Amino acid sequence: MDLSVPSHANIKYMIEGIKTKLRMASGAAMQASAFSLEQYEDIHDVYDMVISKPNLSISEVEAIVSELGRLRKSS
């Protein structure tokens, strides 16, 4: 998968990867459809950081979830 190309499929792939890495119990709360292509670069940056770390501290997980919440489309 070429993540350098912004697409909804790539956003879905990255969000699913982040949810898996964070072991989110309520992954349904973070749907890929809640994110806009306008936020692609920011989501990609978060994805790269999350995937590159072997372990995440509780404070890092909280900061990541907070950042993703900020990036979600306002409904």
Tell me the pLDDT tens digit for each residue of 56-73: 898 998 899 889 989 886
Q: Model's pTM, two decimal places? A: 0.81
pLDDT at 45: 96
Backbone φ and ψ for 12, nearest 5 degrees, come out as -60, -45
Structure tokens at 23: 């072991």
pLDDT at 75: 44
Choose among 37, 30, 29, 51: nearest CA to 9: 37
